[in-house]
A and B are shown apart, each in its own frame.
Chain A
Amino acid sequence: MLCIWLWACLLATGAARGDASVSVDFLPQWSPQSQFAGYYVADAKGFYERRGLRVKVVRGGPDRPAGAYLANRRVTFTTLFLTEGIALRDQGVPLVNIGQIVQRSALMLVARKKSGIRNPDDLDGRRVSVWDEFRLQPLAFFRQNHLSVSLVPQGYTPNLFLMGGVDAASAMWYNEYHVILNSGIDADELSTFLLADYGFNFPEDGIYCLEETLDGKPEAVRAFVQGSIEGWRYTFDHPEEALAIVMASVDAANLPTNRVHQRWMLARMGDIICPGGNCDDLGKLNEANYLFVGRQLRGNGIIQAIPDYQEFYDPRHATP
């Protein structure tokens, strides 16, 4: 679940150069969970410190919209969905993608088989709840399959779906899908449509900073990106240790989640960060994917123009 505050926080202020300090703040775009395991692990295992960087990981959450915090220079680094990064850039926030972590979209539609939905065609005429900020992929999916769907706004929980208010709901594979499973519906009772499987693969979490940081503290940027990538690699090599580190952050934040859920999330992060177990592209933003997402955003009027790939993405720090 990502910040709905995005739209409220597009107030980009003028860029100001920070001093070249080795102390930086990092804000994950949501509350502590396995979605950010790589960063917590990098911090806990000293992967940043070893690169001469003191990172303060700020607790994320609904009250701390990452885009606004970055734009307002309240933090040095943050993670954002690619769509959000492009939109912010389009709206004048001078942010730069310095490492694309999640290569594959985890967004999916979930329906009960009991309601007769087994194929995309079965969604025709149904009530489907979608997140407003993530409506692009489902809408494109509906268009592609010529479906006329009754859209229902989706809140922060899958409860409306669970209570039978909609026939299908949006879900993140790593999060809401498992919440539904752990609400007493078995996987074989569900039909799932992973939008990436239908040609709508929007890369998700990437690491962002402002241009001024990139110019002023290139070493710090490199250290953060490299440390984060090492953190993710270590996470996938030592999942239980990583899970313990995540749970320590979860417990510190007193969040209503549990280890089982975080373990599932960690495993799915592996699937979308290193699809098919291949971590070669970790940190890289594929230009074709970028342009595809940009065209979808522009086509739906969310952005005016697709930011220049070279300006939006700086590949230097993600390469060894």
Chain B
Amino acid sequence: MTRATRHPERRGLALRLALFILASTTLIFLAAFGYSHYHSRRLVLKNVRAVAMDRAASVVLQIEIKLRSVEALPRVVSRYLENRTVTDELVLPLMHDMVAGSPELFGGAAAFEPHAFKPDQRFYAPYFFRKGSEEVTFAQLGNETYNYFLWDWYLIPKELNRPVWSEPYFDEGGGGILMTTYSHPFYERSEEGRLFRGVVTADVSLEKLVSDIGAISLYETGYAFLISNRGAFLAHPDQTLIMRESIFSTAEARGLPELRTVGKAMIQGGSGFTAMTCPHTGRRSLLAYAPVTAAGWSVGVVIPEHELFADIRTLNRTILKIAAAGLALLLLVVVAISRSITRPLQHLVGATAEIAKGNLEVQLPVVRTGDEVQVLTRSVDDMRVALKAYIADIAETSRARERIESELKIASAIQMNFLPKRFPPFPDQTTFDLYAALAPAREVGGDLYDFFMLDPGHLFFSVGDVSDKGVPAALFMAVTKTLMKGMAEQGSTPADVLGRVNAELCRNNETAMFVTLVCGILDLATGDLVYSNAGHNPPVLLRAGKRPEFLPLPPGLVLGAAEEAAFETRSIRLFPGDRLLLYTDGVTEAMDVDQQLFSDERLLRETTWMAGETPRQMVERLMAAVQTYAGGTAQSDDITVLALHYKGSH
């Protein structure tokens, strides 16, 4: 049992200490690490947001500058054309110079409403453009196969009544380059209002813009793109997307509804910064977008998240390595400290285990730590010393008790030796038979019996009961018996014997002990019995052939109580076959389990069956009857029975 519990406890303390400290330290570290990670991510995001928004804004600015610088030309020209009589001589040099004088222009046209230039001319749209070189070429737009009235660059500003940048397009005549056209409407103003007459256009190549934007790169694979107000890609690092795919077709093709949402926000002129899945790499990315208000386009700058956080990841890995090393070191320190604490404890545990096994000579470890362990060690040592002293005490006490018990045994043996034990006591006597037994309640009893021959014709017998039990009673009994024998042998009546014994006992009787006693002298030849009583129970007289009866006793005080007590002698004659049964109150006052006394009545009933039995049988029968009656109840008093059978002289 001790072995089973001792082991895990010893291991547990150091382990628990290490576990708790390591776990709490790890928790604290993780919390700090999480916060640091979260915060540095936010910091990076904040910076990236600024960088990306700046980049988008700068691209927007670049486009706006290009577009705004172009817008001025058609505006001025269209204003010039309003309310003027338009002729070839007016328009052609004007348009030529507009294109020739503006290197940023690819071409420009003044397109008129049907029959607005000349009543018989449906189409009139002089167009000057650069074809491959700086040289400006002229063409007249509009014929049955090129009905410019239905083209966006003409139709939309006309219907919207405002200048419009067209949706970019690949110009077939211009060698398939990406272009956009700014169309400014002009009117004939009159009192009734204004009448739409046509548009002045300026074509701009977007090639350089597209390649510039397409070439933008941020971090490793971040990029910029430009979409039209319909969401079509105008500029993108992936050239194959340009004008073919839109942000919405991409969203549909890749199943990215969030991209469609972003696209809608972009073409509605919004600006923002959002996280999304990049449709081209499939990675989570950040998108900054800003509108090109001049044309309704939108610029997006995409930065893959994993690149942004690459530095943080590297830092995190380093921090984690340091933390792992630190925790390992901490583990060693904790183990060392807990060992230094638990080592004396372990020694102490070993020592106490020895003490528990009974070895009080064990040497406790010397602890000079000055802490609770030292106090504990001293306390255990004190306990050990105290235990040792106590055990020595106990040993001494039990030795003393053993001695007393042994002495009591000897006393009992001595007392028993006082009583005549040889039966039949007088083998050559034929006139009577006698048997007696004493069952002491403790080791040493206070009852006594005695019988001896005064002379060859007279038998003296007595049964008595000392008021107490134990060694004092035994000693008092020994004194009484000795006195009785001494007095009886001086030849006298039983009353006289009792008187003299009483006088002796009363003298110096400081213990106030007393004894009841009945004694008698039987004349063996005649059967005459003289007897006297000192406060004792009446013996049972069994006349041959008659019912048992109590022998009437003369009154008499107990011996040793009063010096002047008087005793009386009575006499009856026993006939051959008569029996006499003497006993102490241990018989009649024996109690059963219900605290009921054996009683005189039961004694008489028991003796009824004794006719014809030898004294020995009588004594044993009565002893057995009392024992049966008492059952398991402890014997509280000495029991003494003496049976006498007078056979008579033949």
Evaluate whether A261 and B230 lie within 8 angstroms (CB atoms) in the complex, with A156-B151, A157-B167 already known.
Answer: no
A215 CB, min distance to chain B CBs, angstroms = 32
**A165 touching B160 by the CB < 8 A rule?**
yes
Q: Give complex CA distance A168, B155 in Å.
A: 15
Q: Give complex CA distance A16, B152 in Å.
A: 41
Q: Say yes or no for B377: interface residue by CB 8 A criterion.
A: no
Of the candidates A4, A159, A260, the one whose C-beta lies within 8 Å of that of B167 is A159
Of the candidates A4, A7, A181, A256, the one whose C-beta lies within 8 Å of that of B150 is A4
Q: Say yes or no for A182: interface residue by CB 8 A criterion.
A: yes
**B159 touching A258 by the CB < 8 A rule?**
no
A198 CB, min distance to chain B CBs, angstroms = 26
**B159 touching A165 by the CB < 8 A rule?**
yes
Q: Which residues between 22 and 59 of chain A lie within 8 Å of chain B, taking CB atoms?
A: none
**B229 touching A258 by the CB < 8 A rule?**
no
Q: Say yes or no for A152: interface residue by CB 8 A criterion.
A: yes
Contacts of A154 in B (CB 8 A): 150
Evaluate whether A182 and B249 lie within 8 angstroms (CB atoms) in the complex, with A4-B150, A159-B156 already known.
Answer: yes
Q: Which residues between 50 and 75 of chain A lie within 8 Å of chain B, taking CB atoms?
A: 62-63, 65
**A155 touching B152 by the CB < 8 A rule?**
yes
Q: Say yes or no for A142: interface residue by CB 8 A criterion.
A: no
Of the candidates A7, A62, A184, A259, the one whose C-beta lies within 8 Å of that of B264 is A184
Q: Give complex CA distance A259, B246 in Å.
A: 11
Chain A 134-160 against B: per-residue CB contact (8 Å), 1 yes, 0 no?
Answer: 000000000000000000111111011
Q: Say yes or no for B80: interface residue by CB 8 A criterion.
A: no
Evaluate whether A260 and B249 lie within 8 angstroms (CB atoms) in the complex, with A159-B167, A183-B231 already known.
Answer: yes
**B243 touching A256 by the CB < 8 A rule?**
yes
Of the candidates B169, B170, B176, B252, the one whose C-beta lies within 8 Å of that of A260 is B252
**A159 touching B151 by the CB < 8 A rule?**
no
Evaluate whether A261 and B159 lie within 8 angstroms (CB atoms) in the complex, with A156-B150, A159-B152 already known.
Answer: no
Q: Say yes or no for A319: interface residue by CB 8 A criterion.
A: no
**B230 touching A153 by the CB < 8 A rule?**
no
Q: Say yes or no for A109: interface residue by CB 8 A criterion.
A: no
User: Which interface residue of A152, A154, A159, A181 has the most chain B CB atoms within 10 A?
Assistant: A159
Q: Say yes or no for B248: interface residue by CB 8 A criterion.
A: yes
List the A residue with the shortest CB-CB distance to B155.
A155
**A155 touching B151 by the CB < 8 A rule?**
yes
Contacts of A162 in B (CB 8 A): 229-230
Q: Give complex CA distance A183, B248 in Å.
A: 7
Q: Give complex CA distance A182, B232 in Å.
A: 9
**A8 touching B144 by the CB < 8 A rule?**
yes
Evaluate whether A160 and B155 lie within 8 angstroms (CB atoms) in the complex, with A8-B144, A184-B248 already known.
Answer: yes
Q: Say yes or no for B253: interface residue by CB 8 A criterion.
A: yes
Count of A interface residues, CB-CB < 8 Å: 33
Contacts of A286 in B (CB 8 A): none
A112 CB, min distance to chain B CBs, angstroms = 13
Q: Give complex CA distance A51, B145 in Å.
A: 37
Q: Say yes or no for B147: interface residue by CB 8 A criterion.
A: yes
Q: Give complex CA distance A165, B249 in Å.
A: 24
Q: Which residues between 142 and 163 of chain B lie within 8 Å of chain A, taking CB atoms?
A: 144-145, 147, 149-152, 155-156, 159-160
**A160 touching B167 by the CB < 8 A rule?**
no
Evaluate whether A256 and B244 lie within 8 angstroms (CB atoms) in the complex, with A8-B144, A159-B152 already known.
Answer: yes
Evaluate whether A8 and B150 lie within 8 angstroms (CB atoms) in the complex, with A259-B253, A261-B249 already known.
Answer: no
Contacts of A63 in B (CB 8 A): 145
Q: Give complex CA distance A156, B151 in Å.
A: 7
Evaluate whether A153 and B150 lie within 8 angstroms (CB atoms) in the complex, with A8-B145, A165-B156 already known.
Answer: yes
Chain B 232-275 against A: per-residue CB contact (8 Å), 1 yes, 0 no?
Answer: 10000000000111111110110000001001100110000000
Count of B interface residues, CB-CB < 8 Å: 36
Contacts of A157 in B (CB 8 A): 152, 167
Q: Give complex CA distance A255, B156 in Å.
A: 23
A316 CB, min distance to chain B CBs, angstroms = 36
Q: Give complex CA distance A261, B246 in Å.
A: 10
Q: Which residues between 254 and 292 of chain A lie within 8 Å of chain B, taking CB atoms?
A: 254-261
B282 CB, min distance to chain A CBs, angstroms = 17
Contacts of A163 in B (CB 8 A): 156, 160, 164, 229, 296
Q: Say yes or no for A5: interface residue by CB 8 A criterion.
A: yes
Q: Give complex CA distance A256, B241 in Å.
A: 9
**B249 touching A159 by the CB < 8 A rule?**
no
Q: Say yes or no for A166: interface residue by CB 8 A criterion.
A: yes
**B159 touching A166 by the CB < 8 A rule?**
yes
**A159 touching B159 by the CB < 8 A rule?**
no
Contacts of A259 in B (CB 8 A): 253
A55 CB, min distance to chain B CBs, angstroms = 27
Q: Give complex CA distance A190, B169 in Å.
A: 26
**B246 touching A183 by the CB < 8 A rule?**
yes
Q: Give complex CA distance A258, B169 in Å.
A: 15
A67 CB, min distance to chain B CBs, angstroms = 13
List the B residue with the shortest CB-CB distance to A129.
B159
Q: Give complex CA distance A35, B362 in Å.
A: 106
List the B residue with the shortest CB-CB distance to A185.
B264
Q: Give complex CA distance A183, B246 in Å.
A: 8
User: Which interface residue of B149, B167, B248 has the most chain A CB atoms within 10 A?
Assistant: B248
Q: Give complex CA distance A88, B145 in Å.
A: 18
A93 CB, min distance to chain B CBs, angstroms = 17
Contacts of B243 in A (CB 8 A): 256
Q: Give complex CA distance A183, B229 in Å.
A: 8
Of the candidates B159, B167, B244, B252, the one whose C-beta lies within 8 Å of that of A257 is B244
Evaluate whether A5 and B159 lie within 8 angstroms (CB atoms) in the complex, with A156-B151, A182-B248 already known.
Answer: no
Q: Give complex CA distance A7, B252 in Å.
A: 38
Contacts of B167 in A (CB 8 A): 157, 159
**A4 touching B147 by the CB < 8 A rule?**
yes
Q: Which residues between 160 and 187 of chain A lie within 8 Å of chain B, taking CB atoms?
A: 160, 162-166, 181-184
**A159 touching B145 by the CB < 8 A rule?**
no
Contacts of A153 in B (CB 8 A): 149-150, 155
**A181 touching B248 by the CB < 8 A rule?**
yes
Of the candidates A65, A152, A160, A256, the one whose C-beta lies within 8 Å of that of B152 is A160
B613 CB, min distance to chain A CBs, angstroms = 129
Evaluate whether A160 and B156 lie within 8 angstroms (CB atoms) in the complex, with A256-B170, A258-B253 already known.
Answer: yes
A250 CB, min distance to chain B CBs, angstroms = 9
Of the candidates B145, B156, B230, B245, the one whose C-beta lies within 8 Å of that of A258 is B245
List the A residue with the shortest CB-CB distance to B143.
A8
**A156 touching B159 by the CB < 8 A rule?**
no
B297 CB, min distance to chain A CBs, angstroms = 13
Evaluate whether A260 and B253 lie within 8 angstroms (CB atoms) in the complex, with A183-B231, A184-B231 already known.
Answer: yes
Q: Give complex CA distance A152, B159 in Å.
A: 8
Q: Give complex CA distance A7, B147 in Å.
A: 12
**B230 touching A184 by the CB < 8 A rule?**
yes
Q: Give complex CA distance A160, B152 in Å.
A: 7
**A160 touching B145 by the CB < 8 A rule?**
no
**A182 touching B231 by the CB < 8 A rule?**
yes
Contacts of B296 in A (CB 8 A): 163
Q: Give complex CA distance A62, B145 in Å.
A: 9
Q: Give complex CA distance A275, B260 in Å.
A: 31
Contacts of A256 in B (CB 8 A): 169-170, 232, 243-244
Q: Give complex CA distance A63, B614 in Å.
A: 162
Q: Give complex CA distance A160, B243 in Å.
A: 18
Contacts of B152 in A (CB 8 A): 155-157, 159-160
Q: Give complex CA distance A270, B150 in Å.
A: 30
Q: Give complex CA distance A164, B268 in Å.
A: 13
A interface residues with partner B (beta carbon < 8 Å):
4-5, 7-8, 62-63, 65, 132, 152-157, 159-160, 162-166, 181-184, 254-261
Closest 3 CB pairs of A and B: A8-B144, A183-B230, A165-B159
A-B contact pairs, 5 of them (CB 8 A): A4-B147, A164-B160, A183-B267, A259-B253, A261-B249
Sample of 15 more A-B contacts, CB < 8 Å, known A181-B248, A184-B247 = A8-B145, A65-B145, A153-B155, A157-B167, A160-B155, A165-B159, A166-B159, A182-B248, A184-B263, A255-B244, A256-B243, A257-B244, A260-B249, A260-B252, A261-B249
